Amino acid sequence: MAVAGTLAYSDDDELSVSLDGLQILLVEDDAADAYLIKCALSKNPRVGSIVSASDGVSALRAIEHGGACPDLAIIDLQMPRMDGFRFLVELGCRPQYRFPKFVLTSSTSRSDLLRSRLRRADRILHKPDSLNQLEVLLSNAIEKI
């Protein structure tokens, strides 16, 4: 089931777009988590579109090839090919990509939180237990950008 107002960028380069509101780059490899995050974001009136990538490699490709011009990135840490830590480093090496970067993780490791901050994540958000809590968490975080 597709979420309305979503821009998907997969390894197959299938795109559909909505141009109103913020464009969110969602970098998440777990399909179930990505679906729930999209559902939570779709209820936010400030969100116009979502670009989905399953890892940092796909996300960078989407940005570099014009498939994404994000106003905000929501990044998982543990992913194949290029994890969230490396993706943050890659974004930091490209000064033309200036947008807020939020890490959304289930990790409670202090080292993961510190590593995210050192790689210039603007916020570290912990994945909550329910969709309702996720909606509130993301809405509050988006409100502050």
Domain that residue 78 falls in: 7-143
Number of domains in the chain: 1
Length of the chain: 145
53: CATH: 3.40.50.2300
pTM for the model: 0.85
pLDDT along the chain (145 residues), means of 10: 36 42 96 97 95 96 92 96 96 92 95 95 95 96 91
Task: Tell me if 121 sits within 8 A of 100, measured CB to CB.
Answer: no
Q: Does residue 2 sit within a domain?
A: no
